Every structure is written in C-alpha cells, then in structure tokens.
Amino acid sequence: MRTAYKVRAYPTPEQAATLSRTFGCVRVVWNRTLAWRHARYHGEGVTTNFTQANAHLTAMKATDELAWLNEVSSVPLQQAIRHQQVAFTNFFAGRAKYPRYKSRTGRQSAEYTRSAFRYRDGRLFLAKMDAPLAFVWSWPDIDPATIDPTTVTISCDPDGRWYASFAVDVDDPEQAPATGRVVGVDVGVKDFAVTSDGETIANPRHLTERERNLARYQRRMARKQRGSSNRAKAKAKVARAHRKVRASRADFLHRTSARLVRDHDVIVIEDLAVANMVRNRSLAKAISDCGWGAFRRMLEYKAAKHGRHLIVIDRWYPSSKTCSACGHLLAELSLGTRTWQCPSCGTRHDRDVNAAKNILAAGLAVSACGGDVRHSGSSRVRSPVKQELQPARAGVPVPQGGE
C-alpha cells in the first residue's frame, strides 16, 4: 500500500519564485488542455486519451506564445496531464464531477516523479534547483533518511504556507494487535458520533466557534479596494482563519478515527450521501462542519493500514426507526425525537444509541452473507444488507453479533 508524509516546507526566495512559475505553468497546461478536450469533444464528437493530450502539451511548448513553458521542469506539466486523464476517467465512470478549471487564487501544487527530484540522506533536490528544499520532519519515530519517496508534491496554500508531501510505498503495513471488540458508529450533527457501546463523542463545531472572527476578517477584506496591497493582506488573514478551522477539524477527525481503529477489530458505519444531504439549506453548514466524508476516508485507510475490518452498510437501512431489542419498525420518526419507546416490547431507546446498535447488527449481517464490505460505494453493499435484514422489517429480531 501507499502512504504519504506531509511536512512544512521553507523555500528560499529564489526557490519560491521557481515553484511559483511552475505552479503557473501547471495551471496554464491544465486549463488549456481542458478547454481543448472540451472543444474537441463537442466539436468533433471524439474523446481524448493520455497519449493525445501529451502530444498536445508538446505542441503547446513548441509555439512562440507558450515557449516559456520550457523554463520549468517538464515532469509537473506531464503529471498535470496524467491527473486530468484520471479525472476524466472518474467522471465517465460516474465517480466524480466534470473536471474544473484551476484558479490562481486557490491552493497551488505541482507533482514531481523520481525523474525530477533527488532524495538523499533526508535532503530533497528538485529539478531546476541547485540547493536542497528545506523542510521540517514531524515524525520523531521515523528517520527521514530511511524513506524512499516515489513522488513529491509541493503545494502552497492561500495563506502562504508551503508544504511537501512524500508518497512512499509500504510493503508490510503495520498490523495492530487484536482487541476482540466490535463497534457500530452513528454520526450526527447534535453529537458528532454515538457508538453501539453507548459512548457519545461531542461535536466540537469548529466553524461555529470561529465564525464571528472569520466574519470580521471577511468584512474587513470586503472594504478594501480590489487589486490593492491592503486587500491582499486582508485576504491572507481570511485564509489563515480558514486554515485554523480546517486544521482543528482535521486534528479532531484524526484523533477520533485513530482511537476507533486502535480499540476495535471491526468498525461499522453508514454509507451516507453527504453530497445530497448538504442540499438542505438549513443543515448544509452544520453538516459540512462535521466532516463526515473526511472521517470515513480516514477510517478506510487507517483500517487497511492496521489490519482492521471496516464495514459500510446500506444508507437506506432504517437504523433509527428499528428497535434494536425486538426488531419492530416504526412507520415514522421525526428528526426532533431523541428518545422513543418501542410499542412492541416496551424498550425505551435513545435515538442515536439505538441506531448505532442497529448499524453494528447490520454490518455483522453483511459480513456473514459475504458482501463486499471493503468497497466504499453503496451499490456494492446494498444487496447483501437487504437479503439479511428483511426478517427484521417483518418483526423478527436482528442478530446482535457482539451485543
């Protein structure tokens, strides 16, 4: 499997200028190639493969108008073409949206393969640079001189921070010792997550905590004249405020996901359609602030890295409306109802704890009937869940597994 180490980078002014030129060239190549693909498809009705796109890049570099593309390393430009080809492949497969044009105001990045960088004894030399790029290593238990990166991605955030990301192939992932514990996790807005063990993980609401401060910086930026130096400084402050929110959220998600993976052999979650849920204008900001999509991705790669079992159940399974004690299914259950009593067996349920217990039972049922529980898409897990959980909807108790 592949892992990555992202570190803070500190380029010299000369290196920053070279990297900025590289970012600009990557952006121009991406945008012009995307426009060429679009016009070719709609004008001639033909699609473009990687070889044709790469030949178009060569033709662009041969023109007088874009001759300055030859001033930077050719590898990041070729990687931009490669990434665009992957983006179109995902689009036609229905896994992603149509590729968008790159903006000069957002995060800028360039990827270098082994032919465009040299990494020796913990020192990184990039193409078109004579001096090594300084960076700060953040893993005290890993010697930076021992890693063998396959690609290096240099990026710069809108707030001016530079980063270097080292992609490393790992032959033998670290296997965590077995704990014998299983858990179902129900995520929400009021509480970030509730487990089948009854544990409640509070929602820190990172954006809400800093919203007033962020709004003040945005108002100050709005008063500045467009294109002025003062507006650029105010914009950098807005970017730094957003970065603090993003960093706090990422830290919370990493800690929570790492603890769940460390303490449990099997973790069961729901396949939530976050993109559809944020269309609710009343809850869009609160849902986005939770970071459910990032949380799931962290659980997926950490479970794979440490030998854990992550199960994703069907998003349509009525986990909140089903009694975890007897399997009775309510006809309706409003979002405002936090506790309810089962009319069949009389058990009183906390809405979220009951849902987490049902999620765990559904996940164990998926595993028992051989579903593709490792796949992140809902279409791969829906059929096994429905086969195993039909008796519960008819009033037959769901097997509780480790309960």
Q: Which residues are catalytically annotated? A: 186, 270, 352
> Which residues does 98 contact at the CB level (< 8 Å), separation at least 6?
91
Give the C-alpha separation, 299 to 313, whole Å: 14
Within 13 A of 275's CA, how many CA atoms are on the CB side? 3
> Which residues does 309 contact at the CB level (< 8 Å), separation at least 6?
265, 266, 267, 303, 367, 373
> Which residues does 48 contact at the CB level (< 8 Å), separation at least 6?
36, 37, 40, 41, 56, 88
> Which residues does 57 contact at the CB level (< 8 Å), separation at least 6?
29, 33, 77, 78, 81
Q: Looking at residue 345, what DSSP letter applies?
A: T
> Which residues does 322 contact at the CB level (< 8 Å), separation at least 6?
328, 329, 330, 354, 358, 392, 393, 398
**CA 351 centroid distance within chain:** 28
Which amino acid belongs to residue 76? P
